[in-house]
């Protein structure tokens, strides 16, 4: 691996960790606000926290972590739909696992959220890196990706 490629690889990982950490902070802070302060049900609070953190994550991942190239609005909307679709999938995993751990196994909701978040962060990185923000090759972006199978994309 040459120096330029290695440097980009390291920069991307450091930025993902930084912005992933900030996204997690947004998620946990919002969860705390909704569940502990506003006294919303933990599933509803988790859903609202997820929405805020996904909006934050899209902007930071696109603009800073994966340094996605400028695209026409239509392509960007497709990219955004794919991002939200895959984050929706991991959001469902997050919520289902939280339900099982808290409701069925009587775990502390914050401890369960931390444990589940490890898996969710890894999945989110893989989806973003390998599918959503991957660089174009020979003018083909969405045609040969898993995004076509995602019901969020027409």
Report which of residues 7 and 33 the model is more confident about. Answer: 33
Q: What is the pLDDT of residue 124?
A: 83
Structure tokens at 37: 């302060």
pTM: 0.75
DSSP state of 128: I
Q: What is the pLDDT of residue 86?
A: 87
Q: Are 16 and 67 in contact (CB under 8 A)?
A: no
**CA–CA separation, 86 vs 131, rounded Å?**
9
**CA–CA separation, 102 vs 84, rounded Å?**
25
**Per-residue pLDDT tens over the stretch 50-106:** 999 999 998 888 888 776 677 788 878 888 888 889 899 999 999 999 999 999 999
Report which of residues 80 and 27 the model is more confident about. Answer: 27
Selection from 132, 150, 123, 6 nearest residue 58 by Cα: 132
**CA–CA separation, 36 vs 84, rounded Å?**
27
Structure tokens at 1: 């691996």
Selection from 132, 150, 152, 153 nearest residue 62 by Cα: 132
Return the residue matching tokens 């739909």.
Answer: 81
As a whole number of Å, the CA-based R_g of the chain is: 17
Does residue 146 register a pLDDT over 60? Answer: no
**Per-residue pLDDT tens over the stretch 97-144:** 999 999 999 999 999 999 999 999 888 888 877 877 776 554 444 444
């Amino acid at each position: 691996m040459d120096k330029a490629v290695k440097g980009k690889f390291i920069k991307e990982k450091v930025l993902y960790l930084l912005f992933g950490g900030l996204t997690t902070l947004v998620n946990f802070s919002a969860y705390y606000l909704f569940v502990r302060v506003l006294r919303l049900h933990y599933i509803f609070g988790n859903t609202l926290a997820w929405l805020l953190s996904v909006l934050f994550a899209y902007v930071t991942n696109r603009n800073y972590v994966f340094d996605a190239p400028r695209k026409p609005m239509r392509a960007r909307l497709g990219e955004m739909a794919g991002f939200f679709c895959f984050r929706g999938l991991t959001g469902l995993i997050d919520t289902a696992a939280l339900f099982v751990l808290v409701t069925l196994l009587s775990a502390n909701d914050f401890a369960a959220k931390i444990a589940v978040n490890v898996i969710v962060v890894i999945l989110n990185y893989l989806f973003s890196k390998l599918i959503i923000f991957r660089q174009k090759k020979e003018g083909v972006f969405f045609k040969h990706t898993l995004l076509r199978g995602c019901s969020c994309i027409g």
